[in-house]
Amino acid sequence: MLIGMPDQGSTCDLEFPHPRRLIWTAGWNMAESLGLPFGAWIVVTDLFGRNPGLLAGLGVVWLLIVIRKLVTGSVSALLWISGLVLTLQTAFVIFTGNVWLYLLQFPLANFAMCVYFARTAPTPKPLVAQLAAEICALKHDSHPGLHRFYQGVTWFWAGLFLVLTVGLGIMMVTEPFKLFMLLSTAVTIALTLVGAGICVVWFIAVMRRWGLRIRFAAA
C-alpha cells in the first residue's frame, strides 16, 4: 500500500503489514511450497524408498495447488514454481536410469524457471510483483517506479536462470558426476545470493529515487 503522492521527488510511505503478519505470511508461503513437500519426501522416503518419497512430495504440491484453486480461486507463484520444478525433477529421476539424463534435470529446471520469469516480465503482472504481493502485500501497481522495478527484476532473474542453465549444461558434459553435484549446488547458491543482494541494492536505489519510505501497519 502506498501512502502519499507518487510523484518523483516527493516523499511517500510504502506500507508493509505488521512484522508479525509479514513473518506469518512469508513463513506460510515457504511452508506450503517447500516445507510440506520436503517433509513428505523425507518421511515417505524413509519408510518406503526414494521413488515413493519423490511421488509423495510431488503429490503434496499438486494437492495444495488444487486446494488453493478450489478454496481461494488462485494459486501462489511460489507454489506454481515448486510444482513446476518438482514435476520435472521427479519425472527425470523416476523415468530415466541413465546418469546423463538424470543430470539433465538440473539445467532443464533452470531453463523452465527462465521461461517462467521471462514470460511474465513484460506483462502487467511480472512474477516478482506477484511474489511481492503474496509475501509482503505490496501491490504491483501501487507506484509506477515500483512496477518498472518489478519488471526489471523479473527480467534479471530470467537472465540469471539462463546463466545457470548454460553453466550447468556445460558442467554436465565436462565434469564427473560427484564434482558436478558439488559444483552445481555451490554455483546455484552463490548466484542466488548474489542475485538477491543485487535486488536489495536495486530496490533501495528505486526507493531513494522516488522518495519512498517503508512503514509498518499497526498490529
Q: What percent of the chain has pLDDT over 70?
A: 83
DSSP output for 106-125: HHHHHHHHHHHHHHHTTSSS
pLDDT tens for 196-215 read 999 999 988 988 888 777 77
Cβ–Cβ < 8 Å for 33, 81: yes
Banded pLDDT at 109 (limits 50, 70, 90): confident
Banded pLDDT at 22 (limits 50, 70, 90): low
- Report the C-alpha gap between 84 and 76 in whole angstroms: 13
Find, among 203, 116, 118, the residue nearest to 155 by Cα: 118
Residue 139 grid coordinates:
501491490
Q: Could you tell me the pTM of the whole model?
A: 0.74
Distances (CA, A) of 39 to 33, 36, 46, 170: 11, 5, 11, 32
pLDDT tens for 62-102 read 999 999 889 888 888 888 888 888 888 788 777 776 667 77
Banded pLDDT at 2 (limits 50, 70, 90): very low
Grid cell 498490529 — which residue? 219
- Which runs of E-coded beta strand occur in the chain? 2-3, 12-16, 212-216
- Report the C-alpha gap between 87 and 81 in whole angstroms: 10
Cβ–Cβ < 8 Å for 120, 189: no
Domain extent listing, the chain: 2-216
pLDDT tens for 28-56 read 777 777 778 888 888 888 888 878 888 99
